[in-house]
Amino acid sequence: MIHLEIPGKLKPLVELASAVAAGYFRPISRKYDREEHTYPKELDLLQAAFSGLQGSGGLQGAGAAASTKKTERADGEIVNGGNMSTVLGITELAWGDVGLLLTMPGQGLGNAAIAAVANEDQRRRFGDKWAAMAITEPGAGSDSAAIRTTARLEGDEWVINGEKIYVTCGERADVIVVWASVDPSRGRSAIKSFLVEQGTPGMKLERLDKKMGIRASDTAVLAFSDCRIPRANLLGSEEIASASKGFAGVMKTFDNTRPMVAGMAIGVARAALERLRELLAGAEIRPRYGGSIHAGQHAEIEVLRMEAELEAARLLTLKAAWMADNRIPNSLEASMSKAKAARVGNAITLKAVELAGALGYGEDELLEKWARDSKILDIFEGTQQIQMLIIARRLLGKRSSELR
Q: Mind telling me the catalytic residues? A: 381
Among candidates 90, 93, 99, 69, which has minimal Cα distance to 81? 69
DSSP string spanning 280-319?
Answer: HHHTT-----SS-TTSS-HHHHHHHHHHHHHHHHHHHHHH
Contacts of 146 (CB under 8 A, 6+ apart): 137, 139, 140
141/287 Cα distance (integer angstroms): 42
How far does Cα 77 stand from its chain's mean position? 28
37/241 Cα distance (integer angstroms): 35
Question: Backbone phi, then psi, for 169, in 5-degree steps?
Answer: 60, 30
Query: Around 200, how many Cα atoms within 13 Å sit in the side-chain half-sphere?
Result: 28
Amino acid at 92: E
Contacts of 283 (CB under 8 A, 6+ apart): none
DSSP state of 99: H
Among candidates 259, 291, 240, which has minimal Cα distance to 114? 240
Angle at 287 between CA 4 and CA 3, to 5 degrees: 0
3-state secondary structure of 20: helix
157/344 Cα distance (integer angstroms): 46
Strands 219-230 and 203-208: what pairing? Answer: antiparallel
291/269 Cα distance (integer angstroms): 25
Distances (CA, A) of 29 to 98, 169, 216: 9, 17, 8
389/152 Cα distance (integer angstroms): 32
